[in-house]
Chains A and B, each alone.
Chain A
Amino acid sequence: MAPSIPALLVLEDGRHFFGESFGATGETFGEAVFSTGMSGYQETLTDPSYCRQVVIATAPHIGNTGWNDEDDESTRIWVAGYVVRDLSPRPSSWRANRSLTDEMETQGIVGIQGIDTRALTRHLRECGAMRVGISTHDLDPGSLVKKVRDTPVMAGADLACEVGVDQPYVIKAEGEKKFTVVALDLGIKSMTPHLMSQRGMEVHVLPPTAILEDIMALKPDGVFFSNGPGDPATADRQMELLKTLLADHVPYFGICFGSQIFGRALGFKTYKLKYGHRGINQPVKDLGTGIVEITAHNHGFAVDAPLDGEVETPYGQASVSHICLNDQVVEGLELHRDGQLVGFSVQYHPEAAAGPHDAGYLFDRFASMMESSRA
């Protein structure tokens, strides 16, 4: 066994854990969040929504299936740091090309292993999300905590531009093209355009800085705003853009950050959850059908909207379509005009990756909404 390099994790309130380094050595800071998924660390680490966050895996063994060339959800690892209890010494999967620790080292991602991740998770649950630092250089908790407290907080952070693409690109429809969709990349995951293209959508992924003209030039059948990191309260520009699109009667679908922007466009407020939803086992109820779906979540903020009844907006009647059964948090919004669905969004991840496929029907719903808006 290679000699271990000690590492230190310190939370902004001073609680600290000693462990061992894996991946890259160095020092990293971010918002401490825990994710309860038991599978899919590769997808999690490459999910742009985790930008500037230090992810704590509650699953005790991480790295078991190594790293492959197919499961990335974006072009790189986005997490600011990774905290695990037991790192697997070697991968076992017929698809693995390399190990997790090697990949993290290559990409310069600092990891710490061997700590009581459950204690850390319970602490975050009780005390709420907070900043954290991990270091292999500074093993003095008193000194590291000062650095942690100097880093910016997540509330008020505008990170879309940090993770979105610079240049537009297109994902062709599989089979016959039925729709043109413009997807605003606020931190989009690869699985999203993939699932759209499977349903006959040609997806034009635009940078987060795209303006109305860029979008309308493509004559989209529908517009999609992706998930992404940061505080939705900062996304004023995208919200204004969406308002214009809604006023223009462009069918809209949003996921996660895209749902929070939708909520704001409809006149609702967003707020920061105590410690967020991050996992792939969250029960969400579709209030329309009464059916419960098990869904992938990754959100620290949520929309504050009334769970019952409709709210009149300039664009139609808005209502809550989905809620999380664990805590009644708003998980989906719908906009109807003249009795017709013209826009909807979910706070969770129907594209899954990682996660269950229960909510895949939402992509079909997007297709049929675009279909009926044409008629």
Chain B
Amino acid sequence: MPKRTDISSILVIGSGPIVIGQACEFDYSGTQACRVLREEGYRVILVNSNPATIMTDPQFADATYVEPITAEIVEKIIVKERPDALLATMGGQTALNTAVTLAQSGVLDKYGVELIGANIDAIERGEDREKFKEVVASLGDLPGGAPEVARSFTCHTIDEVVEAATKLSYPVVLRPSFTMGGKGSGFAHDEKEVRLMAEIGLDASPTTEVLVEESILGWKEFELEVMRDRKDNVVVVCSIENLDPMGVHTGDSITVAPALTLTDREYQRLRDIGIAVIRAVGVDTGGCNIQFAVNPDNGRIIVIEMNPRVSRSSALASKATGFPIAKIAAKVAVGYSLDEIPNDITGETPASFEPTLDYVVVKVPRFAFEKFSGAEDTLTTHMKSVGEAMAIGRNFTEALGKALRSLEDSRAPLRLSGPLMQKQEALTSAARPHDGRLQDVVQAFRAGATVEQVREATGIDPWFLDQLVIILDVAHELAEASDLDETLLRKAKRHGLSDGQIAEIRGVNEHDIRDLRWNLNVRPVYKTVDTCAAEFAALTPYHYSTYDEETEVRPRTKPAVLILGSGPNRIGQGIEFDYSCVHASMALSSAGYETVMINCNPETVSTDYDTSDRLYFEPLTEEDVLEVYAAEAAVGEVAGVIVQLGGQTPLKLAQGLEAAHLPLVGTSPQAIDLAEDRGEFGEVLAQAGLPAPRYDMATSSADALDIASKIGYPVLVRPSYVLGGRGMEIVYDNSTLTTYVTTVTVASETNPVMIDKFLDDATEIDVDALYDGTDLYIGGIMEHIEEAGVHSGDSACVLPPITLGSEVIERIRTSTLAIADGVGVRGLLNIQYALAGNTLYVLEANPRASRTVPFVSKATNVQLAKAAALIMMGSTIQELRKQGILWADHDGSYPPDTTPVAVKEAVMPFNRFHTSEGQSVDTLLGPEMRSTGEVMGLDSSFGIAFAKSQTASYGSLPTSGRVFVSIANSDKRHAILPMQMLADMGFEILATTGTSEVLRRNGIDARTVRKRSEGLGPQGEKTVVDLVLNHEVDLIINTPYSGASSGSTRRDGYGIRSAAIMADIPCVTTIQGLIAVVQGMSAARKGTITVRPLQQWAEAMRPGK
């Protein structure tokens, strides 16, 4: 069947901000889909609020709406664009839910928009657990009979849940309907737990529906990725086996492809079921994912669930097999059958086949529990990981070793030597699923546990446990050998041990092992991911390393540029950096280089085999990068290695790579170091006459008090050895400071505490700029909306700045130039300033791509990362201005008047984490970054742009109703005006005693409500927490009191914010935020909010317009 000609325009919905459970895998899927649909000649209309995505680059769609993904906004886009079809299976649960809402409300019918990919019935059959059960039970014709689902009951109230649990007997699983990433789901072991979880689950489900299910805890877990076309051809693209048995969300599990512990009969039964299910559910076209549990003792199979859309696992399966699921799904969605679509990798075979692997793929999750103090780190069916790394090896042990070192977490690689744990302690710890469980398993083996004992404790299949034993046996051989010979070294490498691990076992230095290994010529070869286990020749150079005999790296004639990616997503380093790497690759490819991408994150666009000329799916460690370089240098010229675009990950490697004489381009490692060394950087500032906040290092508590008194409170304190805001606090008085340096981070000679002057009441400013050694180009100046002290990654900001005068902007310009020159930047530079009073302080400078590069690029329609890559390879800013890559006669410091106001808002993952008592973790923003993603709101006015950013991240702001307000004393005078505006808009205002007094004295009517610490009133008056939990409040304004560790006011704030998260009510925690929110709400009330694609904004910004 050829492609459909009865439709000509297609609306694609993206997945919005990166959140836990929905990360950049949907950028990868969406980018593929948009690219394919455009190639097929359709007009593509895209909506996605996330500016850091590649898919929202204007070139991937005809009309790109960076707008909130809500039914209201998408309807506006439909009205404006009148698409023929809507493709909602590429944007995760967000897109699917939005499509369901639009279908149910009649919008799609009204405007004649056809849902393609999966129709509404199929979506409901796949997503509604009751309907899905019926579908599965109806498959009685299958050889072997109808498949089973877990016994379960659908419940709508807490009491129904309790009754169902009693019938099924504990433990039971709770699964709320229509939620993503397992939000609100988990195991309950008794009635107390079931009640608590029922409440959370019913609330998380948009249909207030929870499925209560028999426990299949400890069973083996498998997934199949299935594709279907309109002719009813179905193929299974990939099987995935979870190393962690049932009970851990697959996103949090270590997973392996292909499935390794099934006989063909068992595998074919899963395949039969998977195919029958996709047909019965009626996913017309495209991919879906089906999960199974298999009882390890008797093979009983339970179908767990299906996603009638492209999922996180689809991205993993695509990278694992080389079969681009989203791309093929988009093609079948517009009518092609699988046999009409060529397999890109072989060129000669069709997509209607099932990839076969001659390697093993291991994916490991990356967590961020350390960012959320008090958060319970037991893994459950509720996904908590923030990223993942994938590795490919020619066996499991090799892939596992590579995957663990790809995580860039020093605790992750298996500890094969050193102190032993107690056996029982290790077994007990391993029994509880948590980040680091595999390490406990290995330590249990080292302490003498048997495979049977570990299996008993963990439920992990003995096959995998045996593989760990192999690794330990090799480690033992390494430890015992008098000399390392070629055979033993090769064996160790074949089982995935890094040079570092071998060195540790041998008690030598990593470089000694590397030298020895190279002398013995024990080097990796590079194989190709080709979908067919070498049956056909592969055209695409998608490589992975292994210690085998034959390498497949082909000679080339063009000079290569190696681009080091950013590794697994984590808080503080995510999709934004992948964006920059992808842009560099695009720019350098068109400039005539052969681009070589190295990365290990399966969710990203950079690891699509289509993105760069060559792809090496490899860990970003010195060892692995040196080997890739050697392999590429052996087949042609390597003109440069780029470490500046992937965030800290590649930057940390710069020194080692330079020492090994790799041709690093851009800012030199010495310059990078200079910017990070406070002393040296301070000299640069001093020479340029630029002020910075005072600071010093304390090695004792007396020292700390002394320093604080010299520089004056408030101060920002942090351990000196940690980057990225870990353990930072703002301290206002001696007693808190003493507590910090004696308990939180003990100050000592070896572990000094850094004490910085904290600029209260300052406006923070972020600048992204390019420097080529002569000219400076300001990409954009962003003014933070949150007060100073909130990590820039968590702070909302606006571009162009809305309150800075031209005098300040001029100072920013000259300061930025002085720093760029003083540091020696070649390429991108990010500087954070704070404007306090009339002084512009320099907070820090990072000579690399920053998190805000994509935001600035989208807002100004100038591709900074592309420009940076070209500068690194020798282009000048003057040239780039001439070529139209940069604005010809101005830059981001003075954007044209037609530039939209762009607001970036951070999206926080607090609702994912609970303390062991079931409470939410504290949501207060601070100097440590905790957001997972961001959105952009665009408009010609600040108020609406801000309102859009809030809508995109938290859902629509209220335009009427009830506001609760509790303001810290220091903020009270700034709150009067915005509160007055809220009152004028007709909001009913509730406030705590102190705040309501101040409001009343200023003529604003406010009702006093009880704090939680005050308890219920004599007449049963509710506390604010009760009101919030009962949804009797529509907006919360709660600015924190000074002094991080002080008493009851802080606990009250904590209670309010926890309740806000539980009840999903917007909560503003800064005065700046309040002012912006009020402007946004006022704008939303007054005018109709309009939507406008990036292409139109760009047109308006063009010179001469």
**What residue in chain B is nearest A119 (Cβ atoms)?**
B550
Q: Which of A326, A352, A355, A357 contacts B353 (CB 8 A)?
A: A326
**What residue in chain A is nearest B354 (Cβ atoms)?**
A281
Within 8 A of A (CB), among B192-209: none
Q: Which of A65, A94, A294 contacts B298 (CB 8 A)?
A: A94
Is the beta-carbon distance between A60 and B395 smaller than 8 angstroms? yes
Within 8 A of B (CB), among A67-105: 68, 70-71, 85-86, 88-95
Q: Which of A94, A291, A327, A354 contacts B232 (CB 8 A)?
A: A291
For A352, the chain B residues whose CB sits under 8 A away are 268
Does B984 sit at the interface, judged by CB under 8 A?
no
Is the beta-carbon distance between B537 and A125 smaller than 8 angstroms? yes
Does A268 sit at the interface, judged by CB under 8 A?
no
Does B876 sit at the interface, judged by CB under 8 A?
no
Q: In the complex, A282 Cα to B355 Cα: how many Å?
A: 9
CB distance from A199 to the nearest CB of B (A): 11
Q: Which of B181-189, B254-262, B904-912 contacts A (4 or more CB under 8 A)?
A: B254-262
Most chain A CB atoms below 10 A, which of B263, B394, B470: B263
Q: In the complex, A43 Cα to B358 Cα: how many Å?
A: 19
Is the beta-carbon distance between A95 and B268 smaller than 8 angstroms? no
Within 8 A of A (CB), among B1028-1063: none
For B239, the chain A residues whose CB sits under 8 A away are 38
Interface string of B247-274 (1 = CB under 8 A from A): 0000000000011111111011001100
**What residue in chain A is nearest B552 (Cβ atoms)?**
A122
Does B678 sit at the interface, judged by CB under 8 A?
no
* Given contacts A71-B263, A292-B233, A37 and B394 within 8 Å (CB-CB): no
Q: Which of B236, B267, B360, B549 contacts A17 (CB 8 A)?
A: B549
Q: In the complex, A292 Cα to B394 Cα: how many Å?
A: 31
Does B548 sit at the interface, judged by CB under 8 A?
yes
Does A146 sit at the interface, judged by CB under 8 A?
no
Q: In the complex, A132 Cα to B552 Cα: how many Å?
A: 23
Q: In the complex, A298 Cα to B462 Cα: how many Å?
A: 32
Q: In the complex, A59 Cα to B466 Cα: how many Å?
A: 18
* Given contacts A17-B549, A59-B358, A357-B143, A292 and B395 within 8 Å (CB-CB): no
Interface string of B536-564 (1 = CB under 8 A from A): 11000000000011101000000000000
Q: In the complex, A247 Cα to B533 Cα: how many Å?
A: 44
Q: In the complex, A115 Cα to B547 Cα: how many Å?
A: 11
* Residues of A bordering B, CB below 8 Å: 1, 17, 34, 36-40, 42-43, 58-61, 64-65, 68, 70-71, 85-86, 88-95, 115-119, 121-122, 125, 279-283, 285, 290-292, 294, 325-327, 352-357, 360
15 new A-B contacts at CB < 8 Å, known A17-B549, A92-B261, A125-B535:
A59-B258, A59-B358, A64-B261, A71-B263, A86-B394, A86-B395, A92-B462, A92-B463, A93-B263, A95-B299, A118-B550, A122-B550, A280-B264, A325-B353, A327-B349
Q: In the complex, A71 Cα to B269 Cα: how many Å?
A: 14
CB distance from A329 to the nearest CB of B (A): 12
* Given contacts A38-B357, A64-B463, A43 and B535 within 8 Å (CB-CB): no
Q: Which of B296, B469, B533, B548 contacts A116 (CB 8 A)?
A: B548
Q: Which of A17, A121, A291 contacts B533 (CB 8 A)?
A: A121
CB distance from A283 to the nearest CB of B (A): 4
Q: In the complex, A71 Cα to B268 Cα: how many Å?
A: 13
**What residue in chain B is nearest A276 (Cβ atoms)?**
B535
Is the beta-carbon distance between A71 and B462 smaller than 8 angstroms? no
Q: Which of B271, B297, B352, B394 contacts A118 (CB 8 A)?
A: B394
For A42, the chain B residues whose CB sits under 8 A away are 263-264
* Residues of B bordering A, CB below 8 Å: 143, 231-233, 235-236, 239, 258-265, 267-268, 271-272, 296-299, 337-339, 348-350, 352-360, 394-396, 461-463, 466, 469-470, 473, 527, 532-537, 548-550, 552
Q: In the complex, A279 Cα to B533 Cα: how many Å?
A: 10
Interface SS majority for chain A: loop
Is the beta-carbon distance between B395 and A61 smaller than 8 angstroms? yes
**What residue in chain A is nearest B461 (Cβ atoms)?**
A92
Q: In the complex, A92 Cα to B349 Cα: how many Å?
A: 35
For A17, the chain B residues whose CB sits under 8 A away are 549
* Given contacts A85-B395, A88-B463, A118-B548, A326 and B359 within 8 Å (CB-CB): no
**What residue in chain B is nearest A360 (Cβ atoms)?**
B143
Is the beta-carbon distance between B549 and A116 smaller than 8 angstroms? yes
* Given contacts A40-B263, A58-B533, A290 and B231 within 8 Å (CB-CB): yes
**What residue in chain A is nearest B396 (Cβ atoms)?**
A61
CB distance from B402 to the nearest CB of A (A): 14
Q: In the complex, A64 Cα to B239 Cα: how many Å?
A: 16
Is the beta-carbon distance between B262 and A325 smaller than 8 angstroms? no
Is the beta-carbon distance between A356 and B268 smaller than 8 angstroms? yes
Q: In the complex, A279 Cα to B264 Cα: how many Å?
A: 12
**What residue in chain B is nearest A275 (Cβ atoms)?**
B535
For B356, the chain A residues whose CB sits under 8 A away are 36-38, 58-59, 279-281
**What residue in chain B is nearest A290 (Cβ atoms)?**
B231
**What residue in chain B is nearest A96 (Cβ atoms)?**
B263
Is the beta-carbon distance between A282 and B537 smaller than 8 angstroms? no
Q: In the complex, A360 Cα to B260 Cα: how many Å?
A: 25
Q: In the complex, A43 Cα to B267 Cα: how many Å?
A: 13
Is the beta-carbon distance between A119 and B548 smaller than 8 angstroms? yes
* Given contacts A118-B527, A118-B550, A121-B358, A357 and B272 within 8 Å (CB-CB): yes
Is the beta-carbon distance between B395 and A39 smaller than 8 angstroms? no
For A59, the chain B residues whose CB sits under 8 A away are 258, 356-358, 533
Q: In the complex, A58 Cα to B550 Cα: how many Å?
A: 15
For B296, the chain A residues whose CB sits under 8 A away are 94
Is the beta-carbon distance between A292 and B352 smaller than 8 angstroms? yes
For B354, the chain A residues whose CB sits under 8 A away are 280-281, 294, 356
Q: In the complex, A89 Cα to B396 Cα: how many Å?
A: 13
Is the beta-carbon distance between A118 and B534 smaller than 8 angstroms? yes
* Given contacts A59-B357, A60-B358, A357-B272, A325 and B264 within 8 Å (CB-CB): no
Some 27 contacts from A to B, beta carbons below 8 A apart, are A1-B473, A37-B264, A39-B263, A39-B268, A40-B267, A42-B264, A58-B533, A58-B535, A60-B394, A61-B396, A85-B394, A86-B395, A90-B463, A92-B261, A92-B463, A93-B261, A121-B534, A279-B535, A283-B339, A290-B337, A292-B233, A294-B354, A325-B339, A355-B264, A355-B268, A356-B268, A356-B354
Q: In the complex, A137 Cα to B470 Cα: how many Å?
A: 27
**What residue in chain A is nearest B360 (Cβ atoms)?**
A60
CB distance from B410 to the nearest CB of A (A): 28
Is the beta-carbon distance between A92 and B352 smaller than 8 angstroms? no
For A291, the chain B residues whose CB sits under 8 A away are 231-233
Q: In the complex, A115 Cα to B535 Cα: how many Å?
A: 18
Q: Which 5 interchain pairs have the tightest Cβ spacing?
A: A40-B264, A119-B550, A92-B463, A58-B533, A354-B264
Is the beta-carbon distance between A36 and B535 smaller than 8 angstroms? yes
Q: In the complex, A327 Cα to B267 Cα: how many Å?
A: 27
CB distance from B959 to the nearest CB of A (A): 54
**What residue in chain A is nearest B300 (Cβ atoms)?**
A94
Most chain A CB atoms below 10 A, which of B260, B299, B470, B532: B260
For B236, the chain A residues whose CB sits under 8 A away are 294, 356
Q: Which of B258, B462, B534 contacts A125 (CB 8 A)?
A: B534
CB distance from A98 to the nearest CB of B (A): 14
Is the beta-carbon distance between B263 and A283 smaller than 8 angstroms? no
For A280, the chain B residues whose CB sits under 8 A away are 264, 354, 356
For B355, the chain A residues whose CB sits under 8 A away are 281
* Given contacts A60-B360, A94-B299, A325 and B462 within 8 Å (CB-CB): no
**What residue in chain A is nearest B257 (Cβ atoms)?**
A38
For B537, the chain A residues whose CB sits under 8 A away are 125
For B534, the chain A residues whose CB sits under 8 A away are 34, 58, 118, 121-122, 125
Q: In the complex, A122 Cα to B532 Cα: how many Å?
A: 11
CB distance from B472 to the nearest CB of A (A): 11
Q: In the complex, A61 Cα to B393 Cα: how many Å?
A: 11
For A325, the chain B residues whose CB sits under 8 A away are 339, 349-350, 352-353
* Given contacts A40-B264, A61-B396, A352-B268, A117 and B358 within 8 Å (CB-CB): yes
For B552, the chain A residues whose CB sits under 8 A away are 122
For A360, the chain B residues whose CB sits under 8 A away are 143
**What residue in chain B is nearest A353 (Cβ atoms)?**
B264
